[in-house]
Amino acid sequence: MAIKKFLIEIGVEEIPAGVGELISSQLKEKFPELIRERRISEIEIDLGYTPSRIVIVGKISAKSGSEKKLIAGPSYDVAFKNNKPTPAYFGFLRSQKASEKDVVIQETKKGKYVFVNKIQPAVPAQKILCEVFPFVFEKISLPKYMVWDDSGLRFIRPVRWLLALFDDNLLNLKLGKLHSQTYTFIRENGEFKRYKVKTIKDYFKIIKTHGIVLSPEDRRKKIQKLLEKKAKSLGACVYPNFELLSEVNDLVEKPFVISCDFKSQYLKLPEVVLLASMAKYQRVFAVVDKSGKIKNNFLAVLEGKPKAVKNVKMHYEFVLNSRLWDADYFLTQDRKESLESRVPKLSTVLHHQKLGTLWDKVDAMVKMAQKLGEILKINAQEIQDLTRAAYLCKADLLTKMVYEFPSLEGIMGGIYAQLDGERNEVADAISQHYKPRTNEDGLPSTKLSALLSVIDKLYNVIGFLGLGLMPSGSEDPFTIRRQVQAIVRILIHYQLEIDIENLFDVAYFHLKDKLEIEKEKVYGIFQNLIIERFEVLMREEDISRDLIAAVVKVNFTKPAEVYFRIRKLLRIYDNK
């Protein structure tokens, strides 16, 4: 059967960062699936997206296959009386546009029925595309929706144009009030200009001529290459920031990089503050010298080359210098008060309506630190450092710097603790106690910071579970699963030989008066979550489900011990 090419471009107002991939993945999965359901034997698609357009290009069978189908009619007793056809029989044939030669009589579970053999004719691929595409598009699941006219069409941003070609001819698609045309639109000097598209090949030529990169992977590589080239011209290297690179990649379709400077006086600011200021306010990249020290240059990724590069550069520099002045001011103001002096003020900050204030949490964490240290038999100095870190770890939430840069919580606490003259072990524990923030994030780098992380997360988990705030299905608004998985990861990595029940009691004892669910039930849920997240981690290490299930069933009390039991069994198996 002949194979035809098709192209669909959906032009939209700027798609927020991170949403393009979500749209692309759903279209890539659902579109071919529904096309195949229409008896199309060959369908192959590729997707690209930029902030302004979503592009589907593919190959498809010219038409669907025909199909013979049995259509059920009346029962035999209704269709025949005294072995003669009734009006119901002939009415059924007329409704199906069938003749008596198409009739089949078959026994079913309900008795004998009349059927007709009917040929479902082949359907042109154009018609199938026109039927399926709007249906799939309207079913895309998104975090938010906008409605911009009375058609009822919803999407992340308003759809402004629709280009569709089938075998280099117009494909008559309809989406809301939009009808497809043979035009694309490209932004030039801040305005969209219309371009006639004659063929699919012509479309890609226009796109390439204007420097637009449809593939997000190729665009990311191009941005990285442009950044590296510009940094090299400054005798520097780009400070790696994959998260920022991914965000910027979703915000431009024809990347262009410029270098700018900020006042060298701001190099005295902590590195994390410089990086946060650049990433948050302007989405620009820091550069470092050969020793890894940040330079007073930065790189900005623009949407195409502007007419007045100098003016754009001046704007970026003015804004960043203003923000760094603010950051310097925040630092100066914060240093007027020590972390320790801020701790009592945590009593004015609500942690949770039913769990109390942040002071209540800190007070419990200090006692939990003492108890956990005793259970694990760490030395007196370590217990002292751990309880001190627990006492100070939330104080930076009251600083101007963390108010402005929430991503620096804990990190600024560690910096301020060092400036206050606290022991390095205490400062490190404060700095890292939020880690790991995600399932992919690295673990705290010291045992003390790992223990503080466990205490912080354990308080949250037992508190929320005890209030009945359990995760359900894909919903986990209090990130309980992620925090439990972090606890399990730390227990395994640092070989912390502590019983699950003892771990539970460390937190429960200081929360019991606030909780609404009986202890046994909360413990059962907590235990199941520990086992569930342990199994997830083991599967990520490609350990067989059967082995995991077998070991977990036998005395699962200490996750670290169970993990090393599994590893021992694997070594024995490998040596056979």
Q: Which of 167, 191, 209 delimits the end of a domain?
A: 209
Does residue 246 sit in the same domain as residue 394?
Answer: no
**Backbone phi, then psi, for 357, in 5-degree steps?**
-90, 175
The two structure tokens encoding residue 128: 């199938």
Does residue 389 sit in the same domain as residue 517?
Answer: yes
The single-letter code of the amino acid at 470 is M
Give the SS3 label for residue 308.
Answer: coil
Q: Which of 120, 137, 160 delimits the end of a domain?
A: 120
The pLDDT of residue 64 is: 79
Q: Go through 358-394 and write b for each residue having 16 or more CB atoms within 10 A of its CB, e for each that does not.
A: bbbbbbbbbebbbbbbebbebeeebbbbbbbbbbbbb
Give the SS3 label for residue 105.
Answer: strand
Does residue 277 sit in the same domain as residue 400?
Answer: no
Taking the C-alpha atoms of residue 289 and residue 236, their distance in angstroms, rounded to an integer, is 5
Q: Which residues, including other chains, have CB under 8 Å from residue 340's CB and lie 6 or more apart?
A: 391, 392, 395, 420
The pLDDT of residue 576 is: 57
DSSP assignment letter at 151: T
Sort strands 84-85 and 43-49 into parallel, antiparallel or unpaired. Answer: unpaired
Neighbours of 5 (CB within 10 A): 15
Task: Identify whether the C-beta of residue 218 lies closer than 8 Å to the C-beta of residue 204.
Answer: no
pTM of the full predicted structure? 0.83
Q: Would residue 473 be called left, alpha or beta, if left means φ above 0 and alpha means ψ between -120 and 50 degrees?
A: left
HSE-up (13 A, CA, CB side) for residue 14: 12
Does residue 449 sit in the same domain as residue 541?
Answer: yes
Place of tokens 């400036």: 419
Does residue 373 sit in the same domain as residue 508?
Answer: yes
Three-class secondary structure assignment of 356-375:
EEHHHHHHHHHHHHHHHHHH
Taking the C-alpha atoms of residue 418 and residue 411, their distance in angstroms, rounded to an integer, is 11
Does residue 272 sit in the same domain as residue 241?
Answer: yes
Does residue 330 sit in the same domain as residue 347?
Answer: no
Task: Identify whether the C-beta of residue 20 lies closer than 8 Å to the C-beta of residue 27.
Answer: no
Q: Which of 285, 313, 334 delimits the end of a domain?
A: 334
Q: Would residue 250 be called left, alpha or beta, if left means φ above 0 and alpha means ψ between -120 and 50 degrees?
A: alpha
Task: Identify whether the C-beta of residue 513 lies closer than 8 Å to the C-beta of residue 467.
Answer: no
Place of tokens 């039927």: 131
Does residue 320 sit in the same domain as residue 300?
Answer: yes
Task: Identify whether the C-beta of residue 575 lies closer than 8 Å to the C-beta of residue 547.
Answer: no
Please report, for residues 41, 225, 308, 355, 390, the alpha-carbon distance to residue 506 in angstroms, rounded to integers and kept in the order given.
61, 51, 62, 16, 14
Taking the C-alpha atoms of residue 250 and residue 210, their distance in angstroms, rounded to an integer, is 18
Does residue 269 sit in the same domain as residue 397?
Answer: no
| pLDDT tens digits in sequence order for the chain, 576 residues long | 689 999 999 999 999 999 999 999 999 999 998 888 888 888 899 999 999 999 999 998 878 777 778 889 999 999 999 889 999 999 999 998 888 888 899 999 899 999 998 887 888 889 989 999 999 998 899 999 999 999 989 999 999 999 999 999 999 999 999 999 999 999 988 789 999 999 999 999 999 999 999 999 999 999 999 999 999 999 999 999 999 999 999 999 999 999 999 999 999 999 999 999 999 888 999 999 999 999 999 999 999 988 889 999 999 999 999 999 999 999 999 999 999 999 999 999 999 999 999 999 999 999 999 999 999 999 999 999 999 999 999 999 999 999 999 999 999 999 999 999 999 999 999 999 999 999 999 999 999 999 999 999 999 999 999 999 998 888 898 999 999 999 999 999 999 989 999 999 999 999 999 999 999 999 999 999 999 999 999 999 989 888 888 888 888 899 999 999 999 888 887 765
**Which range marks the domain in which residue 356 is found?**
340-574
The pLDDT of residue 521 is: 96
CA 255 to chain centre: 23
DSSP assignment letter at 63: B
Taking the C-alpha atoms of residue 296 and residue 277, their distance in angstroms, rounded to an integer, is 13
pLDDT digits (tens, 9 = 90+) for 139-173: 899 999 999 999 989 999 999 999 999 999 999 99
Taking the C-alpha atoms of residue 441 and residue 533, their distance in angstroms, rounded to an integer, is 16
Closest CA to 200 of 184, 176, 211, 221: 184
Report the number of distinct structural domains present in the chain: 4
Does residue 55 sit in the same domain as residue 76?
Answer: no
Does residue 50 sit in the same domain as residue 177?
Answer: yes
Does residue 311 sit in the same domain as residue 193?
Answer: no
Give the SS3 label for residue 103.
Answer: strand
Q: Go through 552-563 and write b for each residue having 16 or more CB atoms within 10 A of its CB, e for each that does not.
A: beeebebbbbbb
The pLDDT of residue 280 is: 84
DSSP output for 450-479? HHHHHHHHHHHHHHHHHTT---BTTB-TT-
